[in-house]
Amino acid sequence: MSSGARILVLVLVGSGSLWGQVAQSHPTRSTPLSQPAQHNQLLKYLTKYGYLPAPSDGNALDYTSLLPSAIQEFQDMARLPKTGELNEDTITMMSQPRCGVQDWTRSRWRRFLHSGSKWRKHSLTWKISSFPDHLSSSQVLVVFKDAFKTWANITNLYFEYRSAGVVDIEIKFLTGDHGDGYRFDGKGGVLAHAFYPPDPFTKTRLSFGDLHLDASETWTLNTNDDGENLYNTVLHEIGHSLGLKHSNAPGSVMWPWSADSAASQHTQAKLSSDDIIAVQSLYGEKTSNRYEKSENSHFLCRMHVDALLTTPNNKIYSFNGATVTELNSTTLEPVFGSQLISEVFPGFESDDSVDAAVSYKGFWPYEASYLFVGHQYYRYSLNTSDNQMTLDIGYPKNISLGWGFNESHFDSVYKYGGGNTPVFVKGLKYWMHTGTSHGPYWNYPKMLSMSPNLFLNSLAGIDAAFLHKNGTNYFLSDEHAYLLHHDDIMDTKNLQQLC
């Protein structure tokens, strides 16, 4: 597995054989480690989780002077009294089921931590590719849908289940060595691991966001049953898939000992204020109901869309954050999973999302596709030899140079059916463009409310729009999607509201 994919491993540390007789010592007294095996286990634990430095270049280290501060740091993470002494409470915490990623970052503690990456879109797809033997697929699906919904309820995220195809988050129940370098070790050991979201600067596809669970575990659906509570574990792992590290706040789903401790196995986990603040700091507070649309509703109704585009070869693309998704021209459902924009539109290097997109011919001998990002735009031509988009030489350029007016950050750019005049929309204003470097027509901008089109003048802005090859326009406005036929644009009977 490439080093570009960062992983978190949920691991069980056995409480009986690991510490032996030491676990019986008094909780308030320092415990002498008289047996070398016990001492070595302590060093191994504290080194594994980052409280002690690992030996470098094969040179052994004298840990004697480092142990008290390392134990104190562990106690701080575990929210125990910071005595710096190995007492029974400390040993008990070291013996609890926990997540295997390092705790200590050698930096100032925050109550929650981010991985440094996040999804650059608000709509994520997921599927389960394999299931445990002792639970039905329908039982497992219900658990995952509930867990995803828990996160979606408090932030602007939508999770769409798919039964097949390429997705953002792939979930598997696996055993042993399963090819990602982080093998499962059977019942009672490693429970699960999850990958962080993709780094926007990493152009290759890895296992970003994926979630693996050990199929050897006895996963339970009821909090009264013995075994590993599936919902609690999944809720924790999804947090990692969204970009959250562990929190040192007890009660947090992202606390290392929260989702899988013996005490919480018989309690349904709930997101704490710490978890809510953490995920909202990445994806914002919940402000829209778009992400709660029925899974049976139209794709344009249930997914966040930054821009829409029909290319010269009549392919339809939906832009969302740093990704783009090809849509079926008939159903407008995804053909494949999301791809990085640069994979479909080579040379696209902006860290910002696409504001608007349109294909337009103008006075050129061929039609080109334009992606607008902030103050700049990219122009792509269709390479007829391989049917791929190619960035034209000299791009990106400033909008003021190529389009002749000093505006930027458009909400949408589109063409009406049957015409070739691009319309630029920003807020409640719109511009009819001449199609040349002279810019818009002299009497623009105008307010949408002044549009001669009885449909457009009722909209509170246009978030995204595109012209279908059949001559109809699709518009997204606020939380609604519309289809407009062009037999007569003055006749609102030709308007179809999709949601």
254 phi-psi bin (left φ>0, alpha ψ -120 to 50, beta other):
alpha
- The reported pLDDT for the residue numbered 29 is 41
Domain closes at, from 252, 283, 314: 283
The pLDDT of residue 140 is above 60? yes
Report the CATH number at residue 448: 2.110.10.10
Asked if 25 and 74 touch (Cβ cutoff 8 Å), the reply is no
Measure Cα distances from 36 to 19, 47, 49, 305, 476 in Å: 11, 16, 20, 60, 68
The pLDDT of residue 238 is above 80? yes
Q: Is 487 annotated in some ligand binding site?
A: no
Mean pLDDT, range 99-123, rounded to an integer = 59
User: What's the pTM?
Assistant: 0.58
Domain for residue 116, yes or no? no
Tell whether 362 and 417 lie within a shared domain. yes
The pLDDT of residue 457 is above 80? no
Tell whether 40 and 165 lie within a shared domain. no
- The reported pLDDT for the residue numbered 494 is 61
Q: Is 295 annotated in some ligand binding site?
A: no
Mean pLDDT, range 392-398, rounded to an integer = 93
Q: Is 26 annotated in some ligand binding site?
A: no
- The reported pLDDT for the residue numbered 26 is 32
Q: What is the chain's mean pLDDT, rounded?
A: 77
Q: Compare 98 and 417 and report the one with higher pLDDT.
A: 98
Question: Taking the mean position of all CA atoms in its chain, how far away is CA 479?
Answer: 21
Which residues have C-beta within 8 Å of that of residue 199, sequence separation ≥ 6? 4, 116, 117
Tell whether 68 and 149 lie within a shared domain. no
Of 67-71, 75-79, 487-491, the range with the highest mean pLDDT is 67-71
- The reported pLDDT for the residue numbered 289 is 57
Tell whether 351 and 235 lie within a shared domain. no
Tell whether 321 and 451 lie within a shared domain. yes
295 included as an active-site residue: no
- The reported pLDDT for the residue numbered 5 is 41
Burial of 497 (0-12, 13-18, 19+ CB in 10 A): exposed
Measure Cα distances from 139 to 130, 161, 218 in Å: 13, 15, 14
The pLDDT of residue 335 is above 50? yes
Asked if 211 and 174 touch (Cβ cutoff 8 Å), the reply is no
Rounded to the nearest 10 degrees, how much is the dihedral formed by the CA atoms of 74, 78, 79, 84?
A: -30
Q: Is 186 annotated in some ligand binding site?
A: yes
- The reported pLDDT for the residue numbered 261 is 45
The pLDDT of residue 348 is above 90? yes
Q: Is 433 annotated in some ligand binding site?
A: no
Neighbours of 250 (CB within 10 A): 13
Q: Active site residue: 237, 292, 343, 367, which one?
A: 237
**Structure tokens of 423?**
């319309």
> What's the rounded Cα separation, in Å, for the pair 381 and 366?
8
Of 313, 296, 439, 298, nearest to 366 by C-alpha is 313
Q: Is 486 annotated in some ligand binding site?
A: no
Mean pLDDT, range 337-353, rounded to an integer = 85
Omega before 396 within 30 of 0, i.e. cis? yes
Tell whether 407 and 464 lie within a shared domain. yes
Domain for residue 101, yes or no? no
Domain for residue 264, yes or no? yes
Can you tell me which residue has the tokens 């109901």?
289
pLDDT band of residue 345 (cuts 50, 70, 90) is: very high
- The reported pLDDT for the residue numbered 412 is 92
> What is the share, in percent, of the chain residues with pLDDT greater than 90?
21
Measure Cα distances from 217 to 173, 184, 384 in Å: 10, 10, 53
DSSP output for 35-82: SHHHHHHHHHHHHHTTSSPPPSTT-----TTTHHHHHHHHHHHTT---
- The reported pLDDT for the residue numbered 57 is 53
pLDDT band of residue 99 (cuts 50, 70, 90) is: low
Q: Is 178 annotated in some ligand binding site?
A: yes
Taking the alpha carbons at both ends of the chain, their separation in whole angstroms is: 43
Question: Taking the mean position of all CA atoms in its chain, how far away is CA 39?
Answer: 41
- The reported pLDDT for the residue numbered 45 is 85
pLDDT band of residue 27 (cuts 50, 70, 90) is: very low
> What's the rounded Cα separation, in Å, for the pair 160 and 464?
21
Q: Compare 26 and 79 and report the one with higher pLDDT.
A: 79
> What is the share, in percent, of the chain residues with pLDDT greater than 70?
74
- The reported pLDDT for the residue numbered 458 is 64
pLDDT band of residue 440 (cuts 50, 70, 90) is: confident
Tell whether 163 and 271 lie within a shared domain. yes
Asked if 208 and 195 touch (Cβ cutoff 8 Å), the reply is yes
pLDDT band of residue 15 (cuts 50, 70, 90) is: very low
Beta partners for 357? 371
Q: Is 362 annotated in some ligand binding site?
A: no
- The reported pLDDT for the residue numbered 267 is 73
**Structure tokens of 243?**
């970009």
Tell whether 131 and 194 lie within a shared domain. yes
Q: Compare 94 and 486 and report the one with higher pLDDT.
A: 94
**Structure tokens of 130?**
């394999």
pLDDT band of residue 338 (cuts 50, 70, 90) is: confident
> What's the rounded Cα separation, in Å, for the pair 485 and 493?
9
Domain for residue 153, yes or no? yes
Of 23-37, 65-79, 129-143, 439-453, the range with the highest mean pLDDT is 129-143
- The reported pLDDT for the residue numbered 206 is 56
The pLDDT of residue 32 is above 70? no
Neighbours of 382 (CB within 10 A): 19
pLDDT band of residue 104 (cuts 50, 70, 90) is: low
Tell whether 414 and 481 lie within a shared domain. yes
Tell whether 316 and 358 lie within a shared domain. yes
The pLDDT of residue 17 is above 50? no
Q: Compare 169 and 483 and report the one with higher pLDDT.
A: 169
> What's the rounded Cα separation, in Å, for the pair 90 and 108?
22
Domain for residue 338, yes or no? yes
Domain for residue 6, yes or no? no
How many domains, in total, are found in the chain? 3
Domain for residue 331, yes or no? yes
Domain for residue 391, yes or no? yes
Q: Which domain holds residue 131?
A: 123-283
Which residues have C-beta within 8 Å of that of residue 391, sequence separation ≥ 6? 345, 346, 347, 348, 378, 379, 380
Report the CATH number at residue 265: 3.40.390.10
- The reported pLDDT for the residue numbered 255 is 80
Mean pLDDT, range 333-354, rounded to an integer = 85
SS3 assignment, position 493: helix
Tell whether 449 and 387 lie within a shared domain. yes
> What's the rounded Cα separation, in Å, for the pair 45 and 54?
11
SS3 assignment, position 20: helix
Q: Is 306 annotated in some ligand binding site?
A: yes
Question: Taking the mean position of all CA atoms in its chain, how far away is CA 459?
Answer: 31
The pLDDT of residue 352 is above 60? yes
Q: Is 185 annotated in some ligand binding site?
A: yes
- The reported pLDDT for the residue numbered 271 is 92
The pLDDT of residue 14 is above 60? no
pLDDT band of residue 211 (cuts 50, 70, 90) is: very high
Tell whether 54 and 181 lie within a shared domain. no
What is the SS3 assignment for 72-140?
HHHHHHCCCCCCCCCCHHHHHHHCCCEECCCCCCCCCCCCCCECCCCCCCCEEEEEECCCCCCCCHHHH
**Structure tokens of 384?**
């007829």
Mean pLDDT, range 95-103, rounded to an integer = 67
pLDDT band of residue 480 (cuts 50, 70, 90) is: confident
